[in-house]
Amino acid sequence: MSFIDDIRLASKFLRDRILSTALTILSVASGVALIVWLQGVTGGVREAFVRHATPYNLIVGAPGSPVQLVLSGVFFLDRPVGNISRDVYEELKNDPAVDRAVPIAMGDSFRGHAIVGTTKEFFDPLPGEKFPLRLRAGRLFNGNFEAVIGARVAAETRLEIGAQFRSSHGFSGGEQHAEPMTVVGILEPTGGPRDGAVYCSLESIHEFHRHANEYAESGGTAAPNQMTAVLVRPKDLTALPLLQRQIQMSGRAQAVFPTSALYQLFDTLEIWKRVVQVLCWTVVAVALTSVCITLYSFVEERAADIALLRALGASRTRITRLILIQSLLLSLGGALTGIALGHGLMAVLGGVVQSFTGVDLSWSVMTGWEGMILGALGATGLVFGAWPAWRAYRVAAAEYLA
């Protein structure tokens, strides 16, 4: 099996120059890791955000940016766009085409977690919902200032049933409310953004702000006749377009399909992803140049070794093959190391993303993509190895031997 012999021999020559071999592999790996990481992050984020978007088909809120409405009303990430009148909610609730309309009132926070005023319907699972909300302990809120906390809030704040805490105005450490809230329920984790919020009744939110008129100016929901958004699910999906158009036409509110708003966001990000992708491949190309240089200097410095191989009976084509195999080992070694590194980076980043957004990225092994990287690097590795291989082919054995 001369091919296996050649692979062994090539790897021994590489090991003999372990420092330059390691550096070359590392430089290829860093480029590949960036590519894998970028692809994984963008793909994973997109998939996870869509997966965890919401079981509701429509979100209704104040006119403004549709993306901001979705990020605030569904992911509790952004500030609310503004307030809508309670009438909008009442009308939707009574609309015969609507199966369920759930109100959301935001504006307060507790240690960075949004306080969400809503109704108990918010917790009722919808048919076919992938990540339904379930209580892990306690019960849902009844009276004022009773709170149900998401799993991540529970984990981070270590609040237990019966514990009391004070929420603050706004989203980042504003003035604290005088009235404490009491934890009455803790939710099971869903892996989605709802794990990171604190839930209470609409009335609680309004009670908080009874004496805080200045608060209305900061964009939060203050008056009892106001709320941030309404999550809507129609009885029949075919009624959805008409429902959306009616709300849009009313001028009092905007109605957004959460997934299409997300896709709109991702499409904007896609351009930047392309730019970064080109940069990543440039890094890889530069790294492959170093494969070429490493092998070229090997051929130059070890011409006597190559001559000796010839003298011991290796043909020119065999010598060429030995150099090309070294090139493949360097580029594929770099690719594999890079893929591993990229996944490592993603795991780290997955944790970071989850702690900020509550979205569980749960990385899939993207076999197709990795296979493509390996194939691309194998092919370009051969191309970049061609020049040193040609030099090795041309070594005149007798000139180096005495």
Partner 1 sequence: MNAVERGSLVRVENLTMRYTGAPKDSAPILRINQWEVGRGEQVVLLGPSGSGKTTLLHLLSGIRAPTAGRIAVDDEDISALPESRRDLWRSRTVGYVFQNYYLFSALTTLENTEMPLMFAGVAAAERRAMALQILERLDLSGKISSHPRQLSAGEKQRAVIARALVNRPRLVLADEPSAHLDAQRRRMLFELLRDLVDQNGSTLIVATHDPELANLFSKRAAMGQFR
**H/E element, 299:** helix 258-301
Taking CA atoms, 243 is separated from 85, 146, 172, 254, 257, in Å, by 18, 34, 35, 11, 11
Q: What angle do CA 81, 66, 241 make, to 5 degrees?
A: 125
State yes or no: residue 162 binds partner 1 (CB under 8 A).
no
State yes or no: residue 317 binds partner 1 (CB under 8 A).
yes
Only one of the segments 27-35, 145-153, 247-255, 305-313 lies at the binding site for partner 1 (rule: CB under 8 A); that segment is 305-313
Write down the residue that tokens 């450490």 correspond to.
173
State yes or no: residue 315 binds partner 1 (CB under 8 A).
yes
Q: CB of residue 316 vs partner 1: minimum separation in angstroms?
A: 7
Site for partner 1 (CB under 8 A): which residue of 305, 369, 376, 378? 305
Tokens of 97: 């085409």
Nearer to partner 1, 310 or 343 (CB): 310
Site for partner 1 (CB under 8 A): which residue of 51, 252, 273, 318? 318
Q: What binding mask, one character per residue, do residues 327-366 give for partner 1 by CB under 8 A, x or -?
A: ----------------------------------------
The residue among 241, 240, 205 whose CA lies nearest residue 104 is 205
Q: How many binding residues for partner 1 (CB under 8 A)?
A: 25
The 3-state DSSP class for residue 261 equals: helix
Residues in the chain: 402
**H/E element, 394:** helix 367-394
Q: What binding mask, one character per residue, do residues 75-114 give for partner 1 by CB under 8 A, x or -?
A: ----------------------------------------
State yes or no: residue 158 binds partner 1 (CB under 8 A).
no
State yes or no: residue 310 binds partner 1 (CB under 8 A).
yes
Site for partner 1 (CB under 8 A): which residue of 41, 309, 322, 392? 309
DSSP 217: G
First to last CA, the chain: 31
Site for partner 1 (CB under 8 A): which residue of 314, 340, 382, 386? 314
Phi/psi class of residue 292: alpha, beta or left (left: φ > 0; alpha: ψ in -120 to 50)?
A: alpha
**H/E element, 114:** strand 113-118
Only one of the segments 304-312, 330-338, 376-384, 387-395 lies at the binding site for partner 1 (rule: CB under 8 A); that segment is 304-312
**CA separation for the pair 26, 19 (Å, rounded):** 10
State yes or no: residue 252 binds partner 1 (CB under 8 A).
no
Positions touching partner 1 (CB under 8 A) are 1-2, 5, 9, 12-13, 15-16, 304-305, 308-318, 397-398, 401-402
